[in-house]
Structure formats: structure tokens, C-alpha cells
Amino acid sequence: MMHDALSSLYGVVSDRKVNPQEGSYTCYLFDKGLDKILKKCGEECSETIIAAKNQNPEELKNEISDLLYHLIVLMVNEELPLEAVEEELAARSKKIGNLKQFHVSDHNT
């Protein structure tokens, strides 16, 4: 179900890029360009963190949805297919023992 929703959203956003519609927020983002899209991604990420910290499931659901939408706008703007991200996630899910070793810095030097 999540794949269908993201795929559908990706299709709508892609269509807005090719066929702009007056009054469309998605088209507004494309018109403003990469910097505006990145700013919105950052804002939504921060709002997601705050919602999680506030332990408000409804707010968290809404902010994650906003973040995913803006990330899809970024993907379409940068011509990154949804399938490429799905393939990367699938490859990562097959890794076992993927705990990365943390680099320890000597802050005294």
C-alpha cells in the first residue's frame, strides 16, 4: 500500500513538472527551483523531529507525510526515479550486521 501511495504521488508530481497547472503548490516549488525545494525539505524534516519529540502521533503522521511529499518533489526535480530509491532500500534490507563502526575522534589534538 505504501508503494502504491508513493508511486501515485510521484506520478502526480512528475505530471505537474511536465504539465504545469496554475495555482499548483507543486508547480510553485518547481518554479522557485532547487533552493526552495531544499529549504522546504529541511523545514519539514525539522517539523518531523519536533512532532516525534512531542510524542504526538497525529502530528508526526502529518509531518512525515509532508516530508515525503517534499522529498518526492526533490526527486522529480533532480530526475531521480522512485525505482532507484526502492532498489537502494531493497539492497540495504538484505545486508546483515550493518552496524557501522563509529569513527572516534581525539578532541584533545
C-alpha 26/C-alpha 16 separation (Å) is: 7
CATH number at residue 66: 1.10.287.1080
> Which domain covers residue 67, as residue numbers?
19-79
- Alpha helices (H) along the chain: 2-18, 25-32, 34-53, 57-77, 82-93
Overall number of domains in the chain:
1
- Give me the half-sphere count of Cα atoms (radius 13 Å) on the Cβ side of residue 92: 8
User: Domain for residue 89, yes or no?
Assistant: no
**pLDDT > 90 fraction of the chain, expressed in percent and rounded:** 80
Determine, yes or no, domain membership for 70.
yes
Asked if residue 104 belongs to a domain, the reply is no
Q: Is residue 108 part of a domain?
A: no
The whole-number average pLDDT for the span 78-88 is 95
In a domain, 96, yes or no: no
**Residue 4 in domain:** no
Average pLDDT in the chain: 91
pLDDT of residue 3: 75
